[in-house]
Structure 1
Amino acid sequence: MSQGNRGRGTVRPIRRLGDPVLRTACDPVRAFDASLERLVDDMFASMYEAHGAGLAANQIGVPLRLFVYDCDDDRGRRHVGHVANPVLVAADGEILDEPEGCLSVPGLNFSTPRHAHAVVEGVDVKGKPVRIEGTGYFARCLQHECGHLDGGVYIDVLSGDARRDAMRAIRAADL
Structure 2
Amino acid sequence: MSIRPILLHPDPRLKKACPPVPAVTGEIAQLAEDMLATMYDAPGVGLAAPQVGVLARMFVMDCVKEEGAVPRPMVLINPEIIWRSDEKNTYEEGCLSIPEHYAPVTRPAQVTMRWLGLDGKTHEERFDDLWSTCAQHELDHLDGKLFIDHLGPIKRQMITRKMEKFKRERARG
TM-score bracket, normalised by the shorter chain, equals 0.7 to 0.9
Q: What stretches of structure 1 move > 3 A for 4+ residues in a row?
A: 76-79
Are residues 1:165 and 2:158 paired?
no
Q: SS of the counterpart of 2:5?
A: coil
Q: Which amino acid aligns with 1:139?
A: S
Q: 1:97 and 1:34 mapped to 2: Cα distance?
A: 38
Deviation at 1:167, TM superposition (A): 2.6
Contact 2:58 2:77 in 1 (8 A): yes
Tell me the residue number matched to 1:133.
126
Are residues 1:15 and 2:14 paired?
no
Identity of aligned residues (%): 35
Deviation at 1:136, TM superposition (A): 0.7
Contact 1:124 1:130 in 2 (8 A): yes
Deviation at 1:98, TM superposition (A): 2.2
Q: 2:33 and 2:70 mapped to 1: Cα distance?
A: 22
Q: 1:143 and 1:36 mapped to 2: Cα distance?
A: 21
Q: 1:168 and 1:141 mapped to 2: Cα distance?
A: 23
Pairs aligned (count): 162
Deviation at 1:10, TM superposition (A): 0.6
Q: Which structure: greater strand fraction?
A: 1
Contact 2:9 2:160 in 1 (8 A): no
C-alpha change, 1:137 and 1:23, in structure 2 (3 Å) is: same
**Alignment partner of 1:101 out of 94, 100, 109:** 94
Contact 2:149 2:156 in 1 (8 A): no
| More off after superposition, 141-150 vs 122-131 | 122-131
Query: Under a length normalisation based on structure 2, what TM-score does the superposition of the two structures give?
Result: 0.86
Deviation at 1:26, TM superposition (A): 0.5
Query: Under a length normalisation based on structure 1, what TM-score does the superposition of the two structures give?
Result: 0.85
Are residues 1:36 and 2:35 paired?
no
- Structure 1: gaps of 5 or more residues: 1-8
C-alpha change, 1:90 and 1:166, in structure 2 (3 Å) is: same
Contact 1:113 1:158 in 2 (8 A): no
Q: Which amino acid aligns with 1:57?
A: A
Deviation at 1:79, TM superposition (A): 4.2
Tell me the residue number matched to 1:24.
16
Deviation at 1:80, TM superposition (A): 2.6
- Structure 2: gaps of 5 or more residues: 167-173
**Alignment partner of 1:83 out of 56, 76, 84:** 76
Q: Give me the CA root mean square deviation.
A: 1.9
Are residues 1:116 and 2:106 paired?
no
